[in-house]
Structure 1
Amino acid sequence: MKKYLIVMICALISLNVLADKQADRQEVLDMSKDVLAKLYQEEPSVKEKIAEAKGYAVFSNIGVNLVFFSAGGGSGVVHDNQSGKNTYMNMGSAGIGIGFGVKDFSAVFIFHTRDALNDFIEYGWDFSGQADVAAKSGKKGAEGSKAVTVVNGVSIYQMTENGLALQATLQGTKYWVDSDLN
């Protein structure tokens, strides 16, 4: 009877963990859907570019810049258009430069080549220079950003959701597969 009870408790815990993971996956997919809808509204031609691409990724990020140091973190999903597979990922960034601010932003990566898609999932590094001015709260405010990213076969779109930032940084970003959600 004791063994049966232990097995039942373990099964219930496993089911709860699976339900939590599925809820977390759905939250990321819902975020991705919302970000893409906003991007399509702002840049209608992007929808066709994504449909023709090998795949795409959507990330939600928070970035902080305090005088000479910047840092950020977030999560997202990479979608392979050929297989239909989703790969859930995390990201973290750190950089140096001049600036001050906090912003909540989204990034959409369009992978035009299979190598670019596979390399992003496997290696996930990005090193870029960035100049950014953003002042936005909900639908009020404006943003202007110019990201210079050296990645062949990838287009990147960034949208500020909320925040206030004025910065010029050199930033390193690491993207990695989320072992809990995959």
Structure 2
Amino acid sequence: MPPTAKRLAVFCGLFIATLLATGCVAPGQTGIDKRDYIDRTEREVRTELYQRIPDFSEELAEAPGYAVFSNVNVSVLLASASVGYGVAVDNDTGERTYMRMGGLGLGPGLGVKDFRALFLFDSPEVMQRFVNRGWSFGGQAEAAAKAQDKGAAVGTEVALDGMRVYQLTESGIVLQATLKGTKFWKDKELNYD
């Protein structure tokens, strides 16, 4: 490998390591601040989906639970890193479990992508497995839909192993579960009850 390529690879590695080290939690100084921020994000995502998808409130109410995550993905040349945070909510008990997410990927790209996603669980077992054991996605599911205000109807959600995933971006709802190489786990700092 030429010296310039080695330096570039080292720079990209350091950049991604810095991103992961500094971006794995919600903004705020205390655990209470971070939980408040995550709770506010969760409410905003639900509200946006209620407005954009007919009958979504019924789907959410009938599900055993759901999780909402906010994520930032940074791509630099041949590497990408994503970090995020969220909360899983048990609809039967109201219990809230705060979680983190992170991932690394390889492939060409340049830019920053900020999105939010809601996971709607089809069974209590799938939800408990997600919350208690964490989750790793090795594949990538894709489906695309434009927001209703852009002139196209919202299509079906992406279904992944006992859950449905709704991804929101600044341009509206995008039914593209870009979860390749992503891991989810409990946030020990924020689950102190």
TM-score of the pair, normalised by structure 1? 0.71
Between the aligned partners of 2:159 and 2:104, the Cα distance in structure 1 is 15
User: Which residue of structure 1 aligns with residue 189 of structure 2?
Assistant: 180
User: Aligned pair in 2 of structure 1 residues 179, 173: CA closer, same or farther (>3 Å)?
Assistant: same
User: Which residue of structure 1 aligns with residue 78 of structure 2?
Assistant: 68
User: Aligned pair in 2 of structure 1 residues 42, 84: CA closer, same or farther (>3 Å)?
Assistant: same
Alignment identity in percent?
42
Between the aligned partners of 2:89 and 2:136, the Cα distance in structure 1 is 18
- Displacement of 1:24 after TM fit? 1.8
User: The residue matched to 1:97 in structure 2 has which SS?
Assistant: strand
- Displacement of 1:157 after TM fit? 0.4
In the TM superposition, 1:16-165 aligns within 5 A as: 20-127=30-137, 128-129=139-140, 150-151=160-161, 153-161=162-170
Greater percentage in strand? 1
How many equivalent pairs are there? 151
- Displacement of 1:50 after TM fit? 0.9
Q: Which sections of structure 1, spanning at least 5 residues, go unmatched?
A: 1-18, 134-138, 141-145, 163-168
- Displacement of 1:148 after TM fit? 6.5
- Displacement of 1:130 after TM fit? 5.3
- Does the 8 Å CA contact 1:130/1:147 hold for their aligned counterparts? no
Give the AA of the match of 1:172. Answer: G
User: Aligned pair in 2 of structure 1 residues 147, 52: CA closer, same or farther (>3 Å)?
Assistant: closer
Q: Which sections of structure 2, spanning at least 5 residues, go unmatched?
A: 1-28, 151-155, 172-177
User: The residue matched to 2:164 in structure 1 has which SS?
Assistant: strand
User: Which residue of structure 2 aligns with residue 15 of structure 1?
Assistant: none
Between the aligned partners of 1:126 and 1:70, the Cα distance in structure 2 is 17
- Displacement of 1:147 after TM fit? 9.1
When Rg is computed on C-alpha atoms for both structures, the one with the higher figure is 1
User: The residue matched to 2:66 in structure 1 has which SS?
Assistant: strand
Residue deviations 1:7-66 (CA, integer Å, cap 9, x gap): xxxxxxxxxxxx932222111101100111111111132221111001000011001123
TM-score of the pair, normalised by structure 2? 0.67
User: Aligned pair in 2 of structure 1 residues 181, 161: CA closer, same or farther (>3 Å)?
Assistant: same
